[in-house]
């Protein structure tokens, strides 16, 4: 018999619709029931691709005896953290405050008013891992609620007061200067893993924004050490098992320090961010392997994560047929059977280090144990030819793998994650000139503007024709960034207007008078606190995305209100970002743009003109992280201010390269434009 979750659209909530637990979705009905029945609330938060969420569901929520205790003692509420990041952020702060750590599944006990008084993450069905059993927790909380309620209520009130305090940041920076980036780089250098790349031990996460920061540092100063750190990390990740060597795309993180054994779920946001940073590495270095990875990620996204209408799904599960990773691992026999050419099959076994013993529960997680340079030397093949053979191997293995039972797909479309994907697609289309990638970006933009707005208001989530949940700061900011990235490729002013709309919504409805932005709108559902997330890990925070968007729009459109709001937010966080660069790297990237020099390129003319395209291409291919560009004619509706008061020379498409809206002499010559950019676009130390 189904419970109340059967009426939801979230795949995660629907996974629990047949539980014997009398689940409520988050909402007033649950809180009213708790108050009426005088019961505390058990709040369980997770997401569809979460392995341990599945484990706890199978062990406890599908167990009739456990469910009976839950139903008798509590009002039980299930939340998809990806749909409700506000609820997740508030109660994650509470769990961390209570236990010193957080994670999913998140298990929190609340008063009927929603104030947390006890919490944790995964609880086993029997005592183990130094944890009480979930049944013991239920019995204990019930007994305390009956006999010691006043103390629990007091705990809830005190904890609510504690988590309602805004982030405790060091004193704001009086002045923003390049020394902040220098000191942040020193801290990144100090904590870097020089053997395997990346930062930290286990588990080890891809840190796209930190790698981006290193690439920007090399672009600014030609800092070889920064480039070495970035390329070592990118190469080691892409050679490891965290990267799906066959199908492309990255798994969420590595359970070891060497990037070999992944936690096998695949998240849209990881792949959007990684596609972009590998693209930037390729632009900065022209290393073919980095473009090979970009193609692999884009291929995965377009093939496995894309809705027929153009939006992109949230995630793929880690498990298939009840086993984590089963879909992705191989035996030597399976590889020989999948690849028709025996010589190519043996090459695959050698390249991927496949053995009979295996490296994961008797099977093999495919990886490239040797550096590309060594493989080139040993095989005698040029790198481009070696990568072509690798692509051929992967294609045949992918075809064979398509017969396996696939991991489940969380097929909801989330605005912020799709905004990040739009940035990646747009920038890849711009750098590569691939029409199919540009088309995918344009279809995604159309999808977001038509499906995710309801009565003029942006929504967070879409699935099966239904958009719901009021959008958060990160949704407006990521969508604005995506629209702006696409505008700078095809110069369709519709995308630019959409980006400006996002920025104006942020300033009007999310601003904190003390600087920066809240996660929720000013007319959002009343919660026990109004969250304000600033930390970037694992994806850029809504605040750092908003600052980046505002800075770019200020460069394209003028407007002191954009620049001032961004500047205040940056000053508030700069000292924290300097001291904790891996957790605030997107802020550092925004600072890098703010410090400039910001290049503004106005291309005046008809974007369909071949001569216009020749001027465009000058700024299509290099890595120019501090450039914005606008194109078209001044009288185009919604055109950026950067195009104002400019006329083409002798009727020909004309480029104006500017800084601070002060421009160099216009040119119609692509070679002259290239020289102007080279002379002024990339600072050198």
> What is the CA 10 to chain-centroid distance, rounded?
19
Q: What is the pLDDT of residue 638?
A: 81
Looking at the DSSP bridge assignments, the partners of residue 667 are 655
Q: How confident is the model at residue 15 (pLDDT cuts 50, 70, 90)?
A: very high
Average pLDDT over residues 588-604: 96
DSSP state of 529: S
pLDDT digits (tens, 9 = 90+) for 101-142: 899 999 999 999 999 999 999 999 999 878 899 999 999 999
Average pLDDT over residues 135-156: 96
pLDDT digits (tens, 9 = 90+) for 213-272: 999 999 999 999 999 999 999 999 999 999 999 999 999 999 999 999 999 999 999 999
pLDDT digits (tens, 9 = 90+) for 320-375: 988 999 999 999 999 999 999 999 999 999 999 999 999 999 999 999 999 888 88
Q: How confident is the model at residue 587 (pLDDT cuts 50, 70, 90)?
A: very high
Q: Is the pLDDT of residue 414 over 70?
A: yes
Which is it for the CA torsion 390, 392, 393, 397, positive or negative? positive
| CATH level 3 topology of 4-163 | Glutaredoxin (3.40.30)
DSSP state of 360: B
pLDDT digits (tens, 9 = 90+) for 445-495: 999 999 999 999 999 999 999 999 999 999 999 999 999 999 999 999 999
Which is it for the CA torsion 521, 78, 134, 202, positive or negative? negative
Residue 491 and residue 630 in contact, taking contact as beta carbons nearer than 8 Å: yes
Q: What is the pLDDT of residue 479?
A: 98
Q: Would you call 178 exposed, middle or buried from its count of C-beta atoms within 10 A (0-12, 13-18, 19+)?
A: middle
- Beta strand pairing status for 453-454 and 457-463? antiparallel
| CATH level 3 topology of 184-325+409-595 | Glycosyltransferase (1.50.10)
Q: 682 or 507: whose pLDDT is higher?
A: 507
d(CA 604, CA 436): 26
Q: What is the pLDDT of residue 171?
A: 66
Please name which of 546, 538, 535 lies closest in space to residue 475, comparing C-alpha atoms: 546
Number of helices (H), then strands (E), in the chain: 25, 20
For the chain, the distance separating the N- and C-terminal CA atoms, rounded to the nearest angstrom, is 68
Q: How confident is the model at residue 685 (pLDDT cuts 50, 70, 90)?
A: very low
Q: What is the pLDDT of residue 201?
A: 86
d(CA 646, CA 652): 12
Residue 123 and residue 133 in contact, taking contact as beta carbons nearer than 8 Å: yes
166, 502, 509, 513, 543 from 517: Cα distances, Å: 11, 13, 9, 8, 6
pLDDT digits (tens, 9 = 90+) for 620-633: 999 999 999 999 98
pTM of the model: 0.96
Sequence-ordered list of residues with C-beta below 8 angstroms from that of 605, at least 6 positions apart, any chain: 611, 612, 615, 631, 632, 633, 648, 652, 653, 654
pLDDT > 70 fraction of the chain, expressed in percent and rounded:
98
Q: Is the pLDDT of residue 379 over 90?
A: no
Please name which of 587, 126, 134 lies closest in space to residue 118, comparing C-alpha atoms: 134
DSSP state of 262: E
Please name which of 625, 643, 470, 644 lies closest in space to residue 548, comparing C-alpha atoms: 625
pLDDT digits (tens, 9 = 90+) for 26-35: 999 999 999 9
Sequence-ordered list of residues with C-beta below 8 angstroms from that of 109, at least 6 positions apart, any chain: 40, 41, 42, 43, 74, 116, 117, 118, 119, 141
d(CA 80, CA 340): 44
* Residue in the structure block whose two tokens are 């026999």: 333
> For 325, left (φ over 0), alpha (ψ -120 to 50), or beta?
left
Number of CB atoms found within 10 A of residue 567's CB: 18
pLDDT digits (tens, 9 = 90+) for 546-567: 999 999 999 999 889 999 999 9
Average pLDDT over residues 58-80: 97
d(CA 417, CA 307): 14
Domain range summary for the chain, segments of one domain joined by +: 4-163, 184-325+409-595, 332-401, 599-680
pLDDT digits (tens, 9 = 90+) for 642-672: 999 888 999 999 999 998 878 889 999 999 9
Q: Is the pLDDT of residue 521 over 60?
A: yes
d(CA 545, CA 652): 37
Round the average pLDDT of the chain to a whole number and report it. 94
Q: What is the pLDDT of residue 681?
A: 55
Q: Is the pLDDT of residue 43 over 70?
A: yes
Q: Is the pLDDT of residue 684 over 50?
A: no
């Amino acid at each position: 018999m189904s419970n109340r979750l059967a009426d939801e659209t979230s795949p995660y909530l629907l996974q629990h619709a047949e539980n014997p637990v009398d689940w409520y979705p988050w909402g007033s009905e649950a809180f009213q029931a708790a108050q009426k029945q005088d019961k505390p609330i058990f709040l369980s938060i997770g997401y569809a691709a979460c392995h341990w969420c599945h484990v706890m569901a199978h062990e406890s929520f599908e167990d009739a005896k456990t469910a009976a205790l839950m139903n008798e003692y509590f009002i039980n509420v299930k939340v998809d953290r990806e749909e409700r990041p506000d609820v997740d952020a508030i109660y994650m702060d509470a769990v961390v405050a209570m236990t010193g750590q957080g994670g999913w599944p998140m298990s929190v006990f609340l008063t009927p008013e929603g104030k947390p008084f006890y919490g944790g993450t995964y609880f086993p069905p029997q005592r183990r891992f130094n944890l009480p059993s979930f049944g013991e927790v239920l019995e204990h909380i019930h007994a305390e609620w009956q006999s010691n309620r006043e103390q629990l209520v007091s705990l809830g009130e005190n904890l609510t007061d504690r988590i309602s305090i805004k982030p405790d940041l060091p004193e704001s920076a009086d002045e923003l200067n390049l020394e902040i980036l220098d000191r942040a780089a020193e801290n990144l250098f100090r904590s870097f893993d020089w053997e395997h790349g990346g930062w930290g031990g286990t588990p080890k996460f891809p840190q796209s924004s930190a790698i981006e920061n290193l690439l920007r540092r090399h672009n600014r100063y030609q800092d070889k050490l920064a480039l070495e750190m970035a390329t070592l990390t990118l190469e080691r990740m892409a050679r490891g098992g965290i990267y799906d060597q066959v199908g492309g795309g990255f798994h969420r993180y590595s359970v070891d320090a060497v990037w070999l054994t992944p936690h096998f779920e695949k998240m849209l946001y990881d792949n959007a961010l990684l596609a972009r940073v590998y693209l930037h590495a390729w632009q900065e270095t022209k290393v073919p392997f980095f473009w090979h990875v970009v193609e692999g990620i884009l291929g995965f996204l377009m093939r496995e994560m894309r809705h027929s209408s153009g939006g992109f799904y949230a995630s793929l599960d880690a498990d298939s047929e009840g086993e984590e990773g089963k879909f992705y691992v191989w035996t030597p026999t399976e590889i020989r059977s999948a690849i028709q050419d025996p010589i190519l099959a043996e090459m695959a076994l050698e390249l991927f280090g496949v053995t009979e013993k295996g490296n994961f529960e008797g099977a093999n997680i495919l990886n490239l144990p040797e550096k590309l340079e060594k493989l080139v030397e040993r095989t005698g093949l040029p790198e481009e030819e070696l990568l072509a053979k690798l692509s051929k191997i992967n294609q045949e293995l992918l075809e064979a793998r398509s017969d396996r039972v696939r991991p489940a797909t969380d097929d909801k479309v989330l605005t912020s994650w799709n905004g990040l994907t739009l940035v990646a697609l747009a920038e890849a289309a711009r750098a590569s000139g691939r029409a199919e990638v540009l088309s995918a970006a344009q279809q995604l933009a159309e999808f977001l503007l038509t499906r995710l707005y309801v009565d003029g208001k942006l929504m967070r989530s879409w699935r099966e024709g239904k958009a719901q949940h009021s959008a958060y700061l990160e949704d407006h900011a990521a969508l604005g960034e995506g629209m702006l990235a696409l505008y700078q490729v095809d110069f369709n002013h519709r995308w630019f207007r959409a980006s400006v709309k996002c920025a104006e919504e942020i300033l009007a409805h999310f601003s904190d008078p003390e600087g920066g932005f809240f996660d929720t709108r000013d007319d959002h559902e009343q919660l026990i606190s109004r969250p304000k997330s600033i930390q970037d890990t694992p994806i850029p925070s809504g605040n750092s995305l908003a600052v980046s968007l505002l800075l770019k729009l200020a460069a394209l459109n003028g407007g002191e209100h954009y620049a001032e709001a961004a500047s205040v937010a940056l000053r508030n966080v700069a000292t924290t970002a300097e001291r904790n660069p891996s957790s605030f790297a997107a802020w550092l990237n925004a600072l890098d743009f703010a410090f400039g020099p910001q290049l503004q390129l106005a291309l005046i003319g008809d974007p369909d003109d071949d001569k216009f395209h020749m001027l465009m291409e000058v700024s299509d291919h290099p890595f120019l992280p501090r450039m914005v560009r606008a194109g078209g004619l001044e009288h185009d509706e919604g055109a950026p201010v950067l195009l104002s008061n400019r006329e083409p020379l002798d009727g020909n498409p004309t480029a104006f390269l500017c800084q601070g809206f002060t421009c160099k002499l216009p040119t119609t010559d692509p070679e002259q434009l290239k020289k102007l950019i080279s002379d002024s676009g990339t600072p050198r130390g």
